[in-house]
Structure 1
Amino acid sequence: MTDCYCTTRSVPEPGDVSGSVTDLSVEAIEAHSRARDIFPQLGDAHGEATAWNNLGNALHQVQREQEAREAFERAVQGFRATGDEHRLTVARGNLTRLRQRP
């Protein structure tokens, strides 16, 4: 297993509105995109699939639906390839949630 070290921002206290949801979503998209690019270099297919799924969630948060759909589809492929049935089900659920959106 490969170690991955990430830096994160501290979680704001309740009522702290100094950073908007959009700002945090943009940061999440950037972070998950970097992770998506790094995991294949490490030979970590499961980590890559997880990064795709997380990226899809971040894209969905800012209503970038087509990109989110593509990310979830890549996550489904990755989890299927690694045999992670639980996360495969989660990624499929994310795709279903997008399809049901009005």
Structure 2
Amino acid sequence: MNKKELTNAIANKTGLSKTESLNALNAVMEIITEEMKQNKQIILIGFGTFSVKKKAARKGMNPTTFAPIEIPAKKVVNFKPSIYLNNTLNQRKRRRIGKADNNI
């Protein structure tokens, strides 16, 4: 799903116009970005947690010349899905065990 499709889905779910949906989506993305720049966590209960992790500087290798290079330290975005989201994605159908299934 791309941004345009997400905007259309928001418009269909909420009854907002596509322009209002796009503005709302842009505002949410802007707020999340600003919080991440300040190294803060965004916790969306039932969905997951966005956080910033720091990666230390390390040594690497140029794959074409095999020359050693220094990879600088950087910050990366981390997303940890909530247990609820994981359970929803991995939901299995429950079925009763009948007499035919009890062949022990």
Larger RCO: 1 or 2 (CA < 8 Å, sep 6+): 1
Instruction: Verify same fold: TM over 0.5.
Output: no
Structure (1 or 2) with the greater strand fraction? 2
Larger Rg: 2
